[in-house]
Amino acid sequence: MDLINDIKEVDWICIVNRLESLLFRSITDRAYMNFKNLTGIPWNAESILRLGEGEVFHKKQEVEWLKVFFSKTNLAEINKFKNALVVNVKKLDKKAEEIKKIKCSELTQQQIIKKIEEFTNAALHSHCFLVPMPIADKAISNRISDSLPENLDKQKILGILTFPDKENQHVLEERSLYNLTKNYKNKNYQKLLDNHLKKFAIIGARGYKFDKAWTKEDIEERIKNLISQNKNPDAELKKLAESRKREKELFKQTIKELKIANDSELYKLIKLAKEFAYIRTWRTDTIYGAGYKVKDLFYEIAKKAGFPIKDLQNLTYTEVIGMAKTEKAPISEQELNKRREYSAQFTFKDSYNVLSGRKWQERLQFLREKVNSEINEIKGNVANKGNAQGQAKIVLIPEDLPKVKQKDILITVMTFPNFIPAMEKAAAFVTDEGGILCHAAIVSREMNKPCIIATKIATKIFKDGDLVEVDAKKGIVRKIYK
């Protein structure tokens, strides 16, 4: 049966763009069958299509059902969903920590099989919250927005009211980096650097791309960059603290001005939204991190089968389990080469299909959005006000991050914690995706840099080297011609 006909019959909606390994994608796309049992919410994602270029499509009807559910359900149900998410992500992290402490090379084949099945089972119970979480988050934000007076700048007020109280991994890493910079070349520097890498190297390995974990060289390059800019670590740490303090004061002031009572339904929604803003990033940091923590288990399975470690990212999780059981390569060399060229994935009801090779890349191009290349000005939502001009640098994959130099304009689909080194250099950030509490929005406020989010097409309109202006007062990004 030709799968292209099944693909064309589905009414798709593109929800995000994520360049993750096949290993990670396969867990995520098969995880949603667990969602109902874990949350009590009668939802499943039976139709999913991921393109090799990163676009993730879900069946529109399934996404819309979830949007309606979260927009209408009561707070108790949303809290139940949140609690289930936290419990299952913590279970995954606990299992990963347990496996991390084991010397995998000393395990028997049966012990290896047991551990990889335990890990993937925990992963399947946590990945099923990846798509529903931002949908729930958006629904809560819309409820809050609908409750605010019409004469207000609702986008700005939402950003103030729902800014997270807890600090995520990227903030903790930034603090640690400034402390490292203070102690650069001191006698205790090496120990501090080792501790920094032990805690935060994992940030670079998102999407099970284990070889992208931050190294000593990565951190030292950032330290030298800070020193070359004459950045005072103590002053930067003070700015961070003042930024958090300012956000808390703005929250109290806004609550008072809007006369929102602490026992009101709106206040409860706002507090829940603040929690979601933290959990949304925490869940992905933890889920990605869990894979990195058990990388030695994956490596041992590959070694015993004589399979290239670097190509683990081109296998599905069921193929990895099968490889542990047979100690043989789960796919042919021909299939592996096709996946190296291009790999899309199609989940349809009970089947999971890897669509490999250039032929499938050509067949699936009809799904990709086409834009007018002559457009020289686009609009988005202002996440942090300001104005900046500079050379555009388009970042689509981790390998693109080093392209970003001082005062460049970072243009990407969405920023993540592993983008921090590039964000430190950039003069402004522009994203295709994102809401008022996405990673780019939060970091831009902490770094006080202009940021425009949700442009939809910035990465398709601009090219490396374009001179662009980011007008983060009007929400406009435009090419400059000289």
What is the Cα–Cα distance from 425 to 395, expressed in whole angstroms? 14
What residue segments make up the domains of the chain, in order of their start? 3-138+286-367, 377-479
Per-residue pLDDT of the chain in tens (482 residues, 90 and over written 9):
589 999 999 999 999 999 899 999 999 999 999 999 999 999 999 999 999 999 999 999 999 999 999 999 999 999 999 999 999 999 999 999 999 999 999 999 999 999 999 999 999 999 999 999 999 999 999 999 999 999 888 888 998 999 999 998 988 999 999 999 999 988 899 999 999 999 999 999 988 999 999 999 999 999 998 998 888 999 999 998 998 899 999 999 999 999 999 999 999 999 999 999 999 999 999 999 999 999 999 999 999 999 999 999 999 999 999 999 999 999 999 999 999 999 999 999 889 999 999 999 999 999 987 888 789 999 999 999 999 999 999 999 888 999 999 999 999 999 988 899 999 999 999 999 988 778 898 899 888 999 999 999 999 999 999 999 999 999 999 999 86
- The whole-number pLDDT of residue 314 equals 97
**Model pLDDT, residue 89:** 98
pLDDT in the model for residue 97: 97
> What pLDDT is stored for residue 321 in this prediction?
98
Total-model pTM: 0.91
414 near 395, Cβ under 8 Å? no
Sign of CA dihedral 177, 179, 182, 186: negative
- Per CATH, the number for 377-479 is 3.50.30.10
Report d(CA 286, CA 164) in Å as an integer: 17
- Supply 384's token pair: 């942090």
Q: Are 39 and 84 in contact (CB under 8 A)?
A: yes
Closest CA to 316 of 277, 283, 344, 348: 344
Exposed, middle or buried: residue 229 (CB in 10 Å: 0-12, 13-18, 19+)?
exposed
Tokens standing for residue 73:
């359900």
**pLDDT value of position 482:** 67
